[in-house]
Structure 1
Amino acid sequence: MSHPTTLLLHGAGVGAWVWHAVAERMATPALALDVPCRHADASPAQCARDLVAELDRRGVGEVVIVAHSLAGVLMPALAAQLGARLRHGVYLAAVVPPPGGAYVDALGRVERTLLRLLFRFNRDGLKPGPAMIRKELCEDLDETTAARVVSAYAAEFPGLYLTPVAAAPTQVTSTYLRLLRDRSLPPSRQDAMIARLRHARVRELDAGHLAMLSAPAQVAALLTGIAVGCGSERAAA
């Protein structure tokens, strides 16, 4: 039985490297790609086109997409471009903007205003300080891993934060992986994201925002199960 490839997309500041421990533990095909968003002209639609082009270049057919955090804004464009090739969408503590809204529109009023101002005055990219990175992203990481996250964290540009996107796709099944120890996107805020997904299955992990680093075995097991389920559905059809 063949299984779709699980495409692993990272969130803000980090890169495909955060997924390596998950990918190597999965029993189904997995591919982690860098989201091409760190330049002034980036947009969700352009990032999606570049990612699909890379999948095509590699000869990847059907996929399960796992979008972590900021990468949630890419799901509508990826679904539109992939069509039937997208078998399942997984939102790992991901932001799901309201229909026609941007990432910032999923935040509170004060946060929205502050983020827009910060991007206005940081044209060369925006990056939080080490203390904030540790507080929000590294709560359950060992010191070596936390230090790597801090040192590797890259500045982000406004495209994925401020560009409106379509509503979350409803033509494919989806799962939301809710992280119980997340300080960057707390569980109560994750619940607001889940409410924007139609009939999404919800699974929980007792982990912080970078669960792929703190609990790679658990994340890999969950994602393998989803991919296997997609393969079984195809065989039954």
Structure 2
Amino acid sequence: MMADAMVFIHGGQHDARCWDPTLLALRERSSTPLLAVNLPGRNGEAGDLSTLSIAECVNSMLKQIREAKLQGKLMLVGHSMAGISMPALAAELNEANLHSMVFISCCIPKEGRSVVESLDPPMAPIAKFAAKYLKTLPPLPKAFASWVFGNGMTNQQKRFLATTLCRETTRITREQVSRTNMPHCPRHWILLERDRAISPSRQREFINNLGGVSSVESVDCCHDVMIAKPELLADSLLRISNA
């Protein structure tokens, strides 16, 4: 049965605008309602990044879903650090309102562990330093962000990527994560083979941490696949939706 709507959750240092190329590709292919949420403290969504918690992110996303008047079974699509907020959102929505969850190169710490304990270089030292000394982390320098998030992108895509970068909370990266209440809806993983932020080997470890993954699709792409290969991602999401 096809998902009644899709909800997109961005990762760290990004906001909802990063999904724009993929949403455009989806709207050219389907009439399914789409919503890209902004986590608190960015792109006009109220919130204090210096004190932000996963629970506050979930409450904000629930509010945006209600305001969008989405109905029926939702497909949740999360990228990168959405791996810690999407399971918590799914728990609040409960199984009756969910079609599936799609994890795109997500960070999935072991039960009771944190993001900052789960990353590899080059992101690990940045996250650890920021978690120890900063309340919020400024946007990564454009050249480094292009290297770690956008390797293989066109220059135009890299310029667009730069517009989506934003200041990030460090509190959430230290917060211990639990998925004990995550519902048992279908879980799918899109594994990015050229990802420099979360390596393919680390992604496979995260798949094991998550458990219950129904399918894994490997894509030859960088971390920000939603910008680099939006048409390919749109086609993958529609296949999952129709499964």
Normalised by the length of structure 1, the TM-score is: 0.87
Residue matched to 2:197: 184
Partner of 1:59: 69
Q: Which residue of 2 aligns with 1:150?
A: 162
Tell me the C-alpha RMSD between the 2 structures: 2.2
Which of 118, 123, 145 is the matching residue for 2:135?
A: 123
Map of 2:188 onto structure 1: 175
2:3 corresponds to: 3
C-alpha deviation, 1:198, in angstroms = 2.0
**In terms of mean alpha carbon deviation, does 204-213 or 31-40 score higher?**
31-40
Which of 174, 195, 205 is the equivalent residue of 2:208? 195
Give, in whole Å, the separation in 2 of the partners of 1:130 and 1:110: 15
- State how 1:52-91 maps to structure 2 within 5 Å: 52-61=62-71, 62-83=73-94, 84-91=96-103
Q: Secondary structure at the match of 2:210?
A: coil
Aligned to 2:57: 47
Equivalent residue, structure 1, for 2:147: 135
What stretches of structure 1 move > 4 A for 4+ residues in a row?
Answer: 108-114
Structure 2 gap segments, 5+ residues each: 43-48
Letter of the 1:34 partner, please give it. N
**Is contact 1:70–1:160 with CA below 8 Å preserved after alignment?**
no
Q: Secondary structure at the match of 1:133?
A: helix
Report the secondary structure of 2:25's partner residue.
Answer: coil
1:142-193 C-alpha deviation (Å, 9 max, x unpaired): 1122123235411211132111121273511100100011111111111111
Q: Does 1:32 align with 2:36?
A: yes
Contact 1:89 1:174 in 2 (8 A): yes
- Paired residues, number: 229
Whether contact under 8 Å (2:75, 2:99) holds in the other structure is yes
**Do 2:9 and 2:86's aligned partners in 1 also have CA atoms closer than 8 Å?**
no
Structure-2 residue corresponding to 1:234: none
Deviation at 1:42, TM superposition (A): 1.2
Deviation, structure 1 residue 218: 0.8
Check whether the contact 1:126–1:157 (CA below 8 A) recurs between aligned residues.
Answer: no
**Aligned position for 1:235:** none
**How high is the TM-score relative to the length of structure 2?**
0.85
Displacement of 1:132 in angstroms is 1.8
Using the alignment, how far apart are the partners of 1:208 and 1:190 within structure 2? Answer: 13
Distance change (3 Å), C-alpha of 1:111 and 1:142: closer
Distance 1:195 1:2, change over 3 A: closer
Three-state SS of the structure 1 residue aligned to 2:137 is coil
Query: Residue 212 in 1 paired to residue 229 in 2?
Result: no
